[in-house]
């Protein structure tokens, strides 16, 4: 499935979730805060690509990093037949796997 995602200024994006298969994306405009389980949080800017392996990896955040402009990206998601493309992760699982999340920088 291919889709364009538009995030209003300051939008946090989808809550922690996982995808059944890999996801490939490209930032069309703006900036996105992107964080996968086991990787540090980073900012993806317009013109940059990103990917995630899908499967068991938790996607913690993909929110608009800008408070004064929209951000937009296109994604290609390769799902597993018969499984949902996106599954939200509940609080109990987030707590059980907290040791797999890279510590966030203090501001």
- pLDDT for 37-62, tens place per residue? 999 999 999 999 999 998 999 999 99
**67 within some domain:** yes
CA-derived radius of gyration, the chain: 14
Residue-number span of the structural domain to which 42 is assigned: 6-80
**10 within some domain:** yes
**74 within some domain:** yes
The number of domains in the chain is 1
Indicate whether this model's pTM tops 0.75: yes
In contact, 60 and 104? CB cutoff 8 Å? no
**87 within some domain:** no
pLDDT mean over 9-29? 96
**94 within some domain:** no
**1 within some domain:** no
**86 within some domain:** no
pLDDT of amino acid 104:
76
CATH classification at residue 44: 2.60.120.10
Contacts for 70 with CB less than 8 Å, ≥ 6 apart = 6, 7, 8, 9, 29, 30, 64
**92 within some domain:** no
d(CA 93, CA 65): 26
Using the predicted structure, report yes or no on whether residue 107 has a pLDDT greater than 70. Answer: no
């Amino acid at each position: 499935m291919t889709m364009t995602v538009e995030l209003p200024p300051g939008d946090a994006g989808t809550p922690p979730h996982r995808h059944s298969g890999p996801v490939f994306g490209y930032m069309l405009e703006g900036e996105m805060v992107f964080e996968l389980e086991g990787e540090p949080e980073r900012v993806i800017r317009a013109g940059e690509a990103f990917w995630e392996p899908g499967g068991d990896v938790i996607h913690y955040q993909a929110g608009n990093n800008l408070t004064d402009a929209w951000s937009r990206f296109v994604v290609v998601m390769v799902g597993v037949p018969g499984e949902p493309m996106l599954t939200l992760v509940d609080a109990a699982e987030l707590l059980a796997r907290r040791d797999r999340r890279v510590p966030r920088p203090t501001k």
